[in-house]
Structures are given as structure tokens and as C-alpha cells.
A = this chain, B = another copy of it.
Amino acid sequence: MNQKDGDTGDTASRRKDARRNKETLLEAAAAVFVTSGVEAPVRDIASRAGVGLGTLYRHFPTRADLIIAVYRHQVEACAEAGPALLESAPTPHDALRQWIDLFVDFLVTKHGLAAVLRSDQSGFEGLHAYFLDRLVPVCTQLLDAATAAGEIREDVTALTLMRGVGNLCIGAENDPDYDARRLAAVLVDGLRRQN
């Protein structure tokens, strides 16, 4: 954490109304995301925060920026959990398994987030890039460790795995018959070198 509580990053404005509005917007967005999902209309967020659309767009130039800001802390936490698990888990593959579990849990509990992470959807390239930039290196580290231990096949890249797991989580919030967590577990299990 940089400063005290109301830290909005290094782009904090000199004007207190601007700082307050940004904070209010973040809270409103988080609340709306919980109830209506990440794809909720931008207008809903602005009106929940009691500000105009212009204000929202000045603080968060694109929809993706707002989503990133809301979830930044949790993504960071997930990224930092990688190396920790590598030390605490019995084997690298187990660390990988637990880390993927963490990631899946995160996505599955954020209504619509996984759907919006897909690369092919326009307007969300920034979001996609942020997640990948932050998490692929961590995944690479886990994958490399498991490879070095001879536990897994070597033909799946970290990027492919991350995107695959993200994709598996799409639509997992609505339908209790679709078990994304189990599927992710099966996928990670399939990574293991068959003997």
C-alpha cells in the first residue's frame, strides 16, 4: 500500500472533488458488479455513484480500466500467492493445482468477469492484457518448477493454460449443473505426465 486508506494510485488529482468522485465510482462499480455482474451498463454505475457519465469516463477512460481498478487488489494477491505456494506445497504440481484453484475461485465468484476476459471481445483488450501480464509470469514460474521436477507434460504454455482456465470459468455463476472448478481440476490433472 502506498499511502493511507483512500489510495487511488499515483494519478490522484489535486482536487478533492475529483478524488472523492473516483473513490465513490469505485465503490459503486464494485457494488453494481456484485448485483448485476461486470457487464452492467455504465449508466447504472454512474447513477449509483450519483455522478454524470462524463465524470465516469474521465476517471476511467474505458470500461476495462474501471474493472481493472475494482479487481486490482485481488489480482495482485493471486499473483503473490504463486511463489508462496511453491514453497509451501509438497510438490510443484501441487502448488500449480492450488494456485489454479485460487484463480478459478476468484473468477467464478465475480459475476461475468471470465466472460469479459476473452480476448476476442472488443473494448476489453486492456483487461485481457492486464490479467495476462500480471498472471502469466507467475504461471510460467509454477509450470517451470513442475517441468523441472518432471511432473508434467511440456507442451502447454502458461498463456494457453491461463486462457483455458479463464475460458472454463465462463458462465459458471449461473448454472449449477456446470462445474467449472471440477473441470479446471481435471485439466490440471491432465497436465500430469502419464505413467
Q: Which residues of A contact B (CB under 8 A)?
A: 112, 115, 118-121, 153, 155-157, 159-161, 163-164, 167-171, 173-175, 177-180, 182-183, 186-192, 194
Contact = CB atoms under 8 A, between A and B. Distances in A.
Nearest to A37: B120
B182 A155 contact: yes
A111 to B, nearest CB: 9
Contacts of A167: 167-171
**What 8 pairs between A and B have smallest CB-CB spacing?**
A190-B190, A186-B190, A189-B190, A164-B183, A120-B171, A167-B167, A119-B171, A163-B178
Given A167-B170, A192-B194, 11 more contacts: A115-B118, A115-B120, A115-B121, A156-B186, A157-B177, A159-B178, A160-B179, A164-B180, A167-B167, A186-B191, A187-B190
Contacts of A163: 171, 178
